[in-house]
Amino acid sequence: RNTMIASKTLVCAASTLASRISPRFQRGNTVRALASGKANGIGRRPILIGGVAGVTTAQMGNLGNQQARAVEATPVPDTAAMAPAVAAIAALKPGAKLADGAFEVLAVNEVPEYNVACVELVHLKTGARWMHCGADDPNNVFNVAFRTTPTDDTGVAHILEHTALCGSDRYPIRDPFFNMLRRSLSTFMNAMTAADFTCYPFSTMNETDYYNLLGVYLDAAFFPKLSREDFLQEGHRLEFKDMEDKNTQLELKGVVFNEMKGAMGSQAARFNRALGATLFPTSTYHHNSGGDPVSIPTLTHEDLTRFHATHYHPSNARVFTYGDLPLERTLAKSQELALGKFDRIDVSALDVADERRLTAPVKVEVPVPADPVVPDPNKQSVVSVAYLMVNQIKEKEAELENFALTVASDLLLNGPQAYFHETLLESGLGSGFAPGTGYSSSRRETSFAVGLKGVAEADVPEVEAKIQGTLDRIAKEGFPKERVDAVMHQVELGAAKVSTNFGLGVAFGAMGTWVHGGDGMKPLKIPVLAAKLQAAIDADSKYWQKLIQRRFLDNSHRVTVVGVADKDYDAKLEEAEKKKVAEIEKSLTEEQKDAIVKEAVALRASQDGDQNADILPTLKVSEAVPREIKHWNSSITKTSGGFDLQIDAQPTNGITFANLLLDVSDLPDRLVPYLDLFAYFITELGTKTMDYKALAQEEKLKTGGIGAGVDVQQSLDASAPPRVYVSLSGSALDRNVPAMFQLMADVATGAKWVGEDARLGLLLSRRAASAGAGVSQNGLSYAKGLANASIDPVAALDYRTAGLPHVALLQRLAREKEAGVEEVSAALAEIAAFALARNRVMRCRISAKPEDCDPAVKQMEAFIDALPLRGADAVGDELTLAQSLASFAGAPSKTFVATPTQTNYCAASYLTVPYSHPDSAPLFLLGQAMSTSFLHREIREKGGAYGGGASAAPVEGVFVLSSYRDPNTLATVETFEKAAAWAAKEGNLTQEILEEAWLKAFKAIDAPLAPQSRGASLFTNLMDDESRQLFRDRLLDCTPERMRECAEKYLVGKTPALAIVGNPASVPDVKKAGWTCVDAEGNPLKEE
């Protein structure tokens, strides 16, 4: 689901996960991730993710699956039975004073369902509110948030979020935030702008690190420099193409300016924004808090500083902390460093007014960009109907209504048995749900939207009629009990599933209502609300009918938005921007031009100047990083049938996880393009015993998801050829493990590959539309995938199955309709006959609580026994996948992919060495060092891109330099070359840079793992303790000289594979430079 109706996307300034600085190397499964959500072979995910409402994967990446400790509510224990961190909070009483009287306890709540105790406090001097969750969890969290309520589209809140991180009173250097990324072992570090609040969160498992970051964050939030120079870099500025020559072309630049060009550079983003603006015509949600590139240049530095003065004050602040560190010390440090220096002010002017409810429905038509690739050019319209619903602050029954509507949204939208799936998707009127479809409870007032994309203009009224008809039907019939029970089962699963980011999930989930004076405990109430809802349903047989009637049919605040696709949308924006800048340039006096040159030169001098980062706190690797790896104590044994079995006995909190790998290396190579479709469709077509709707219902009722994935096991020393496998996976509460394996067996032995033509056609159409729409927004993944594919056989396989060739295949299949369905059906049936057999089994794995492992193993053995003994083989001398990989001949690419977007995604890839090679560890550190010490400055600060960096993929043996939402193309490629030369020059890579590279490397390597993930690398890639320890030793024994030698050996003078996915306006320049230029389907661009 997508809840970003009113620009609720949390716009990130930077991330320790390196998605902004040095995006991680990813296998090429971009299309699968976009179309299905079946990451890592796990099936449909519940809409109530991890028991934490208001936090979605659409907003926060993988923070959707939150940690919880207990499946069922238990009697409140006495504090003696609690973990010390929990007991300390539970023992507090309302009215108690903490931190020498600076804070007063307002309320204390024990939450046994999650084994936490929470206290809410007020800072007496300023009125700042504070909530702390004591937990037996070393991954401690801090998050300070301010209600930020924009009144225009200039992006003032977003640009302020960036600029606040560019230096402060105690740390007056240019970039303390990015410097701290490499001086910390944080498990998360970021800053985000939502539609109505801005927050600054971090988490870490190191106590010293926690207090180091606390000081830096408090100073950045409350005492930032906010210099004009930083505003020009992060926000927007005018600069001549040759910055010192006022006779060259004038240009608009700025990090946020280019970030938002990229963020708004898709049909989905533009439609979402229009939907939100229409649904909220009068309140702050009408505006784009991230900033519209058209409006950003109107923001002044004075506007920025004024906004900070009125919004970034303790009286307008909410602070959330979580973990096992003592609360009192954090409170005392915050009082000393920040809060105690302020007096209370009146912030009532910042209150968000209730949206004025419409008295009659509204319908508008808006232009939107055309998707980069579409199966049917006559079906490009988007239509959505949205309803404004619960006022979470003022309505009496808001909590229960909100939860009930969340459940209703799941029943309406999630899975093939959902109502709108049947009436909208199966109608053939569109290619998929419209952007923004789903229920959003992350704002002060909730909303629901549903519609279709890929609609013919003439069919728009029919889509509207089907939406109305579906709601009319439910208002009469209600929801079947078994479907509601399935959703409630997912709630229970969500509360039981353990992840490493529970504290962060609560930190984000609390803010949506808490900043408006609502309940900060909202994310922790899911189990209680589930029980309340069940009681309400039991007490009133017409509960659902009344809810649908009240919130939908009798709701006059309904808007219909129709998006009309314009293939020249981005080109028109580009042209308008050029015209605007030309007009500005024409109006400039010589003195004004000189001032622009002066500011540009001064900014560049600042960017190039030395900064004393030593004033920032840092960790020492010798003190903070252990030499020994973490041991997961996996047990390697055999099943009763003689198959390799890995057992990971872990505290999985009542959930069993199962995985089976099937070797498809000898699959006929002609079937490779369909492998990804096989993995995606395996649970989507039904089985011999149940149709696809019944299967989806049973899966939801009994499991946490079953599914499949495709991946490659690569030899850690390159001594053996890669093995390609299909992974069958599932998870379930322990009581449902037999049912889970029965479902997996039904799917593996009886999936209906043939005879479900209508269903398969719908799936192909949706997947084609999703893939085509995602090219621009996922440009970096496609650029890296394309470059890697030209030099590495495994990357080439990934690119064939999930890169741009797969996008093109999907479009062809969708266009060919019946013939495409017939082609895919035959191919998938053939893959199934080959792969789903006992002789293909590589190994299997069970992860569960120790006492639950043996019963699960017996179920796994029965599942394997249910498979056919032998699979079909390739015929005669037919080329196999393994032979194709072995015969791969690389030739570095130099390809530009033109797609409708205003920014670019650049990649340069180098082939290096496998994981066990002595140079692999220094190369891994080299990527960290080049990112933070050279590329960040050159690509982001100077070049204006949103991000850029370098990363080594040790298992794949590839080194990649990249940029993200970049206004440049060839200039960035030149920067990549300069980066290599810089790294190879003696003296540039210092011991200090190495120390920082170590910290960045180990925060990734030692990141906390959920119990079910411990031992996974051994299972999927045979990465045993010995090989992990050797790699770790080589990291810690590395020297600056070893990094320099690797830069010289593998990067300098070598021809990289180059790829750019980006703005068509760049085509003439790159073509002149000898690049091959293609469209998003790989077709050569026509000469203009």
Q: Which residues are catalytic?
A: 161, 234
CA 77 to chain centre: 37
Cα first-last separation, the chain: 40
**Cβ(210)–Cβ(142) under 8 Å?**
yes
Of 768, 784, 779, 808, give the one whose Cα is nearest residue 898: 779
Of 148, 145, 149, give the one whose Cα is nearest residue 130: 145
- Rounded distance, CA 438 to CA 459, Å? 22
Structural element, H or E, at residue 738: helix 737-750
- Rounded distance, CA 410 to CA 48, Å? 8
Under 8 Å CB-to-CB from 641, ≥6 apart: which residues?
838, 861, 864, 865
- Rounded distance, CA 669 to CA 555, Å? 56
Per-residue burial over 986-997, b if 16 or more Cβ lie within 10 Å, else e, is eebbeeebbbbb
Alpha helices in 41-151 (DSSP H): 57-60, 84-90
E strands, 650-794, are 655-663, 705-713, 723-733
Residue 612: is it exposed, middle or buried by C-beta count within 10 angstroms (0-12/13-18/19+)? exposed
Residue 831: is it exposed, middle or buried by C-beta count within 10 angstroms (0-12/13-18/19+)? buried
- Rounded distance, CA 978 to CA 26, Å? 25
Q: Tell me if residue 450 falls in helix, strand or coil.
A: strand
**Cβ(454)–Cβ(814) under 8 Å?**
no
Of 938, 941, 1035, 927, give the one whose Cα is nearest residue 989: 927
**Cβ(579)–Cβ(381) under 8 Å?**
no
E strands, 555-666, are 558-566, 635-638, 644-649, 655-663
* Entry field: residues in the chain: 1088
Copy the structure tokens of residue 542. 């017409």
Q: Tell me if residue 386 falls in helix, strand or coil.
A: strand
**Cβ(183)–Cβ(19) under 8 Å?**
no
CA 1006 to each of CA 394, 570, 1016: distance values in angstroms, whole numbers, following the listed order: 44, 42, 14
Of 451, 157, 389, give the one whose Cα is nearest residue 288: 157
- Rounded distance, CA 1001 to CA 621, Å? 11
Under 8 Å CB-to-CB from 818, ≥6 apart: which residues?
757, 761
CB count, 10 Å around CB of 47? 24
Of 1074, 1056, 1073, 1078, give the one whose Cα is nearest residue 892: 1056
